[in-house]
Structure 1
């Protein structure tokens, strides 16, 4: 379970060895909720909430990370226990891999999965929209060609391919989001991606959802013993969590699918957003709508993955462990 605290004046502390959440109410008597620590995986807090040092201590004792976010959902920082998720050998190998042909292999894998997810999404749209078949077939063919071009790239250093990969990825993304807008109900259609600020409901939901996903991916990497800052395609000069930006790519579809479902079902309305200069932002009701839907998609719904039924969140964590294990399968000379 992930706990999101975004109501103004909310207070998290400890009572009877459990987390107690106090939420202010209009009648001056705050509502209270008690949750056992073992049921919580992370606590996400906006700038409107506060917590006690006892709550921080209980979280650290139970390996619960506390994440502080901007209003758009992007993480500002986190409180995390001091123990590494695994051995330092993994991080050493990650650094070595970033300078070798392994960076090419994994980058092509992750971007390829992202583009393939986009293709499968559009193909699924076509099943239920025969009247749009010509338009969708054109997009599918063009994205498939981009996917093929990505697979055919060859080099022993990622820097030799980085610009080409970004170009292929960017073109595929533009075609993909054009397609999503085309099939959405008219009130949710948009003109391209917009971020800070978002200019429409679809993009503001997408941006906030990606902010949540960044935190989840960072935690998966840390639990697997990986370094969020040592990236392959995204390099050190970004001074950001480069591996988070690399590893997140195949999982963006989780947020995109959730937001598409909400808009297709017309569950999003003007009451979920507030106007700001040159755009809009999600308000409390909008965040609750998205968080509930995304948690259900990732934590409740199950998929058949690698031979067993599991949640998408568990599958993402399993992939992080698999990546770490792949790194340490070989030593620096590339031998077993």
Structure 2
């Protein structure tokens, strides 16, 4: 099992990363401000314009430390990729499945089944935990309608119909999502999902959380020997990490959405942490990113019992476990891919 170590977040726009021996060194204005042992890190997320030295990128590749680069505003730019060590036979199978509509649909419905199941239980959990603060009847009605679609998804063999069922469930879920915002409701009102760019505070947080989750799913798939760009539900497209987006679907509601709601309801993030740009886009401020990423790192350390393995693992390892289960299914070790079912 992969060990969950620390993720280093570099947020200063003028920070430059280099390597000295077995340490990553952070400098500003050519002066060292911090250093961290590489062996304690599993990943580095750099939100700096200055970037990193080639020597550091090489050291990270050799040690299996994932390093990803973002703009200071959180837009993903690139990540280091070393020599591929994936099983070529596994990737050949992945390609064949992706090219076969029937087999591809078989895997896609597992991802969507997990997504709808988990989104439904996010609503059910809210009625259980906050019966005096949420419209219980409204949420239960939406959850019941989503539950009715689960058998249809599980038996669906038509890709277009499958996407239609997923779209209907997503409409039900986001139609009541605003009721899950229990604090700061005037500042974090949710009316509809907007992206590229996010146009309000809650969508800005959702988009940033999805970016972080996609990065984790990408690293998980690569560690399992799979190609994150060859998907089953999301069709392959140049520059799009389609399989990472597939894997993320079942984790969106239970991992990213609940995390965003927690940040808002616990006031870890407030309106002062977000800023509206001239273009209309809403983005996190520097302080907002620090608060958000600190909470994200803490979230990854929380222990849960994995529903398939029946073992306790940190939340941060869930994408890696699901990637390994997907690889085992493609190899024929499992009859069907077991989605992550949370309750």
- CA 1:23/1:125 → structure 2, altered by over 3 Å: closer, same or farther? farther
Structure 2 residue corresponding to 1:19, chosen from 24, 29, 34: 24
How big is the shift at 1:63? 1.5
**Counterpart in 1 of 2:244?**
244
Residues 23, 251 of structure 1: CA spacing in aligned structure 2 closer, same or farther, 3 A cutoff? farther
Structure 2 spans left out of the alignment, 5+ residues? 1-5, 334-343
How many angstroms does 1:147 deviate by? 2.3
Counterpart of 1:214 in 2: which secondary structure? helix
Correspondence list, 1:232-271, <5 A: 232-237=232-237, 240-252=240-252, 253-271=254-272
Moved beyond 3 Å, runs of 4+? 70-74
1:107-146 counterparts in 2 under 5 A? 107-131=108-132, 132-146=135-149
Alpha-carbon shift at residue 199 of structure 1 (Å): 2.0
CA contact (8 A) 1:6 1:48 kept: no
- Alignment deviations for residues 52-103 of structure 1 (CA, whole Å, 9 cap, x no partner): 222122212212222122455343221121132x310110011112234332
Q: What number of residue pairs does the alignment pair up?
A: 318
Matched-pair contact (CA < 8 Å) for 2:12–2:48: no
Root-mean-square deviation (CA, aligned residues, Å) is 2.0
- Aligned equivalents of 1:70, 1:16: Cα separation in 2: 27
Question: In the alignment, is the contact (CA less than 8 A) between 1:73 and 1:207 conserved in 2?
Answer: no
Residue 162 of structure 1 pairs with residue 169 of structure 2: no
Are 1:175 and 2:172 counterparts?
A: yes
Counterpart of 1:96 in structure 2 is 96
Do the aligned residues in 2 keep the contact of 1:4 with 1:43 (CA within 8 Å)? yes
Aligned to 1:313: 316
TM-score (norm 2): 0.86
- Out of 172-181 and 105-114, give the one that drifted further: 172-181
> CA 1:143 to 1:72, structure 2 compared with 1: closer, same or farther past 3 Å?
farther
- Stretches of structure 1 lacking an aligned partner (at least 5 in a row): 156-160, 331-336
Q: Which residue of 1 aligns with 2:33?
A: 32
Please state how far the C-alpha of 1:325 moved relative to its aligned partner: 1.6
Note if contact 1:44-1:68 (Cα within 8 Å) is conserved in structure 2: yes
1:139-218 mapped onto 2 (5 Å cutoff): 139-153=142-156, 155=157, 161-184=158-181, 185=183, 186-187=185-186, 188-218=188-218
Report what 2:12 is aligned to.
7
Q: 1:103 to 1:74 in 2, by over 3 A?
A: farther
* TM-score calculated relative to the size of structure 1: 0.88
CA deviations over 1:277-331 (Å, ceiling 9, x no partner):
2231111111111111112112x1111121322112223212211211211227x
